[in-house]
Amino acid sequence: MSILSKGECEAVLDVLAQLYPGAVCALEHGSAFQLLVAVALSAQTTDKSVNKATPELFRRFPDAAAMAQADMEELQGLLKTLGMYRTKAANIKKMSEKLVSGYGGEIPGDFDGLVALPGVGRKTANVVLAVWFGEQRIPVDTHVFRVANRIGLCREKNVLDTEKALMARLPEGRWTEAHHSIIFHGRNCCRARAPECASCALGGMGLCRAAGAGGDTQPPGV
C-alpha cells in the first residue's frame, strides 16, 4: 500500500488547518489537574460525554487534595454515565492520592512522572504535555490512529508505531497541531463508519490513499 510523501503529509496539515482553524482540545478544564482527569476519563468515551460529567465532578473535587479524599461510591455516582466508570473512579482517586503523596498535589511536567500515575497511559501523558505544558506531541487516540493510517500519513498496525511514524514524517513544530486537526477530521468527515470520502477535501486534492484513491478504507487493526 502506498503512503503519502513527506511533502504531501505537510500539505495534508495545511488543508486541515484551513478546514479546522479552531481545532483545540475539546475537553473542558480549568487546571492541569482537571485536564489530566478529563483525559483519563475520555478513554473509550466521547469528549462530549466527559464534558457532561466533569462540571459536577470538579465542583465537588476541584483538585488532587479534594479528589484524594473522595468517597468511592460518590465518585462512581458522578461518573456512572461513562464507560468503565468503576475502574475510572478508582484510577482518578488513586492518581490523586499519588499526586498528593508524591508531588505535593502538583501535576508532573514530564512524561515519566505522568505515566507513573495510576490510570495514566502514553496518550493521556502526551495530551497533558501538549495542551497544558505546550510541548510538541502527537497523542494517538482512535481518531488519529484511524485517520493517519487510512489516508496514508503512515501504515502501522498499532498506536505506538503510528505515533513514532508520525513524529518521523511530520514537522516537529506541527505535531500538536496535527493531533488536534486530525481528530477534528476524524469526527467531522473521516469517521470510522461511513466516512464522507465523496466530499473530503483531502481526497479531492489527491492527498488520501483510502478506498477510491488507491488504498484500503480501514487501517490494520481498526
Q: Return the CATH number at 164.
A: 1.10.1670.10
What is the rounded CA–CA span in Å between residue 78 and residue 87?
13
What is the rounded CA–CA span in Å between residue 210 and residue 222?
14
Q: Let me know whether 146 and 123 are in one domain.
A: no
Q: Let me know whether 72 and 10 are in one domain.
A: no
Mean pLDDT, range 100-111, rounded to an integer: 97
In the 8-state DSSP scheme, what is residue 139? -
Confidence check: pLDDT of 129 > 90: yes
199 part of a folded domain? yes
The set of residues, in sequence order, having a beta carbon less than 8 Å from that of 153 and lying 6+ positions away, is 3, 4, 9, 12, 147, 165, 166, 169, 170
DSSP three-state, residue 90? helix
In the 8-state DSSP scheme, what is residue 98? H
Maximum pairwise Cα distance, the chain: 55
193 part of a folded domain? yes
What is the rounded CA–CA span in Å between residue 20 and residue 190?
13
Residue 193: how many CA atoms within 13 Å on its side-chain side?
Answer: 0
What's the structural domain count of the chain?
A: 2
Print the domain residue range for 186.
Answer: 6-23+138-204
| pLDDT attached to residue 2 | 87
Q: Let me know whether 127 and 143 are in one domain.
A: no
Question: Could you tell me the pLDDT band of residue 214, with boundaries at 50, 70 and 90?
Answer: very low
220 part of a folded domain? no
Mean pLDDT, range 146-174, rounded to an integer: 97
Inter-axis angle of helices 159-169 and 175-188, to 10 degrees? 120
Q: Which residues are catalytic?
A: 123, 141
The set of residues, in sequence order, having a beta carbon less than 8 Å from that of 77 and lying 6+ positions away, is none
Phi, psi of 96 (to 5 degrees): -65, -40
Confidence check: pLDDT of 13 > 90: yes
| pLDDT attached to residue 206 | 95
| Cβ contact 126:139 at 8 Å | yes
In 10 A of CB 120, how many CB atoms? 21
Question: Could you tell me the pLDDT band of residue 88, with boundaries at 50, 70 and 90?
Answer: very high
| Cβ contact 70:29 at 8 Å | no
Q: Let me know whether 77 and 153 are in one domain.
A: no
* pLDDT greater at residue 169 or residue 210: 169
Radius of gyration of the chain (CA): 18
Residue 149: how many CA atoms within 13 Å on its side-chain side?
Answer: 25
